[in-house]
Chains A and B, each alone.
Chain A
Amino acid sequence: MNPLAPIGTAVFGLLAEIGRLAWFTRDALLQGLTPRIYFGQILRQLFRIGYSSLPVVGLTAFFTGGALALQIYLGSSRFNAESLVASIVALGITRELGPVLAGLMVAGRVGASIAAELGTMKVTEQIDALVTLSTNPFKYLVGPRLVAAVISLPLLVAVGDTIGIFGGYFVGTRSLDFNAYAYLKNTADFLKLDDVTSGLIKAAVFGFIIALMGCYHGFNSRGGAQGVGRATTNAVVSAAILILAANFLLTSLLFKVE
């Protein structure tokens, strides 16, 4: 057997997967986001993706803000720059950690749930049943999840940013003896609108990635329970990798180094 054959097979397999994903994305945009719009489904998904993710995103942001405050304090105290703690916590949370951690947490919680639900619908022929009932699955299942995720993630990140900064404030004022007023003033003075909006733009992109990966892997699951399990894992892993890759790309685009 040719020793290069497995490499060739893997490369062709990867290219075929990229092609299938591109085709699915095209269908998701052209069919899923054009009328008929299922507003009831969008509301239901907003609740599931957005509201139900609030606790996990909030807790993650709070502890990350607190840990960030501690680390920056310890680092900056080496060169007497402790006063930077409040501003760097705010910057780190709003620009990077808020959207990325919220994206990864929601990918684990919601991406897996979407893939498992749609995967089960696929293997039990419920998606075929939708078609026979004159309902386009892209409009009924994919479109509402994409819309809800793109709306929910920026809202979740906005809440997460606030809680994350509060986490830093909590640790700063309780453990590091910062003055409460000075901490908040430092944060407010240093933070710019662009810092927040850049994080929200990232969050919207991450929301699209999470819903797309969940739907794609769910729609393409095969072979019963094992197939659904594989689809769920693939949805979370692919969404996490794409979120981190997209974060790098968006950071490069939004914050050009002069």
Chain B
Amino acid sequence: MRAAPHILLKDVKKSFGPKQVLNGVDLAVPKGRSLVVIGGSGTGKSVLIKCILGLLRPDSGTIEVAGENAIGLKGDERERFLARFGMLFQGAALFDSLPVWENVAFGLIQGRRMERGRARDIAIAKLGQVGLAADVGRLYPAELSGGMQKRVGLARAIAADPEIIFFDEPTTGLDPIMADVINNLIVDCVKRLGATAVSITHDMASARKIADDIAMIHRGRIIWQGAARDVDRSGNDHVEQFIHGRAEGPIQMDVLKA
């Protein structure tokens, strides 16, 4: 018998005005697995993650995390819920006004009210895990390169040893070598924590590297989900076109119609 999914979405819909972004998403992520959601720009990948985190409220459907409802949480209940998660944002979303170590330790100091000295030690250790020296902790985000900012964002995402980690376009804007470094770090961090991971990307090299399972979202629906090793024989025209980056195929026809 299969274990209950760690994250479960059923018929989740979300629209912004007349634009239907999520159109009945069904998705199950088993505990400890790394799922990568692929799809083109504007297909609802980021909205999907924001709905799970409660940053956006879905119009309908259900979202459960570890068997508990994740929609409409407030106050302490929401804080406890969010303490399960770490998130690496597309642009790293580091706080400009704080030095690097305080960015990494932010969730520990403000969210978990840990003493600053102890939080700083953990932050420096986490920076080490993503390949950054302790003296980087004194710098400000504006003084870092894009790749270093992503590493700091990753250190912040894993600082509180979360049980679930989200990665939003983790390799966007990076050169191929730095992208591969980030992919390796993601795989390493997720395995070390034993966390459940959900990543969204349109970078297939990244998807192949970090995914146990892959799902493809198109027009607000999951149109294919399977093991990462099966993505090359999905038998789905949309997936085929996407993973090979072909201009011709059903996806472009949809775009032209839209």
Task: Name A's B-contacting residues (CB within 8 A).
Answer: 120-121, 124-126, 128-129, 131-135, 140
Task: Give the chain A neighbours of B93 by CB distance below 8 A.
Answer: 124-126, 128-129
| Closest Cβ neighbor of B53 among chain A residues | A132
Task: Give the chain A neighbours of B50 by CB distance below 8 A.
Answer: 128
Are B91 and A125 in contact (CB-based, < 8 A)?
Answer: yes
B140 to chain A, nearest CB (A): 14
> B222 on the interface (CB 8 Å rule)?
no
B74 to chain A, nearest CB (A): 10
> How many B residues are at the interface, by size bracket?
20 to 34
In whole angstroms, what is the CA distance A120 to B50 when docked? 19
Are B91 and A134 in contact (CB-based, < 8 A)?
Answer: no
Q: Which of A120, A124, A128, A133 is within 8 Å of B106, CB to CB?
A: A133
Rank and list the top 3 A-B pairs by shortest CB-CB distance, nearest first. A134-B111, A133-B107, A129-B93
In whole angstroms, what is the CA distance A120 to B96 when docked? 10
Q: List 14 A-B contacts (CB under 8 A).
A: A126-B95, A126-B96, A128-B50, A129-B89, A129-B95, A131-B53, A131-B82, A132-B55, A132-B87, A133-B107, A134-B79, A134-B82, A135-B107, A135-B110
> B85 on the interface (CB 8 Å rule)?
yes
Task: Name B's A-contacting residues (CB within 8 A).
Answer: 50, 53-55, 79, 82-83, 85-87, 89-91, 93-96, 106-107, 110-112, 156
With known contacts A134-B83, A134-B111, A128–B55 Cβ distance under 8 A: yes
With known contacts A125-B89, A125-B90, A133–B110 Cβ distance under 8 A: yes
Task: Give the chain A neighbours of B94 by CB distance below 8 A.
Answer: 126, 129
Task: Give the chain B neighbours of A121 by CB distance below 8 A.
Answer: 95
Q: Which of B55, B86, B91, B112 is within 8 Å of A131, CB to CB?
A: B55
In whole angstroms, what is the CA distance A135 to B90 when docked? 20
In whole angstroms, what is the CA distance A126 to B96 when docked? 9
Are B95 and A132 in contact (CB-based, < 8 A)?
Answer: no
In whole angstroms, what is the CA distance A121 to B98 when docked? 13
Are B82 and A132 in contact (CB-based, < 8 A)?
Answer: yes
In whole angstroms, what is the CA distance A58 to B54 when docked? 46
In whole angstroms, what is the CA distance A131 to B74 when docked? 12
In whole angstroms, what is the CA distance A132 to B86 when docked? 7
Are B55 and A134 in contact (CB-based, < 8 A)?
Answer: no
In whole angstroms, what is the CA distance A116 to B229 when docked? 46
| Closest Cβ neighbor of B46 among chain A residues | A125
A192 to chain B, nearest CB (A): 44
In whole angstroms, what is the CA distance A47 to B85 when docked? 34
| Closest Cβ neighbor of B159 among chain A residues | A133
In whole angstroms, what is the CA distance A125 to B96 when docked? 12
| Closest Cβ neighbor of B106 among chain A residues | A133
| Closest Cβ neighbor of A123 among chain B residues | B91
In whole angstroms, what is the CA distance A126 to B112 when docked? 19
In whole angstroms, what is the CA distance A135 to B160 when docked? 14
| Closest Cβ neighbor of B112 among chain A residues | A134
Are B90 and A140 in contact (CB-based, < 8 A)?
Answer: no
Are B89 and A128 in contact (CB-based, < 8 A)?
Answer: yes
Are A134 and B87 in contact (CB-based, < 8 A)?
Answer: no
Task: Give the chain B neighbours of A128 by CB distance below 8 A.
Answer: 50, 55, 89, 93
Task: Give the chain B neighbours of A140 by CB distance below 8 A.
Answer: 110
20 more CB-based (< 8 A) A-B contacts, given A126-B93, A135-B107: A121-B95, A124-B91, A125-B89, A125-B93, A126-B94, A126-B96, A128-B55, A129-B87, A129-B89, A129-B93, A131-B82, A132-B53, A132-B82, A132-B86, A133-B106, A133-B107, A133-B111, A134-B82, A134-B112, A135-B110
In whole angstroms, what is the CA distance A126 to B94 when docked? 6
| Closest Cβ neighbor of B113 among chain A residues | A36
In whole angstroms, what is the CA distance A133 to B108 when docked? 8
With known contacts A129-B89, A129-B93, A134–B53 Cβ distance under 8 A: no
Task: Give the chain B neighbours of A124 by CB distance below 8 A.
Answer: 91, 93
Task: Give the chain B neighbours of A133 by CB distance below 8 A.
Answer: 82, 106-107, 110-111, 156
In whole angstroms, what is the CA distance A133 to B94 when docked? 12
In whole angstroms, what is the CA distance A134 to B79 when docked? 5
In whole angstroms, what is the CA distance A140 to B109 when docked? 13
In whole angstroms, what is the CA distance A121 to B54 when docked? 18
| Closest Cβ neighbor of B91 among chain A residues | A124
| Closest Cβ neighbor of A132 among chain B residues | B87
In whole angstroms, what is the CA distance A134 to B110 when docked? 8
Task: Give the chain A neighbours of B82 by CB distance below 8 A.
Answer: 131-134
A119 to chain B, nearest CB (A): 13
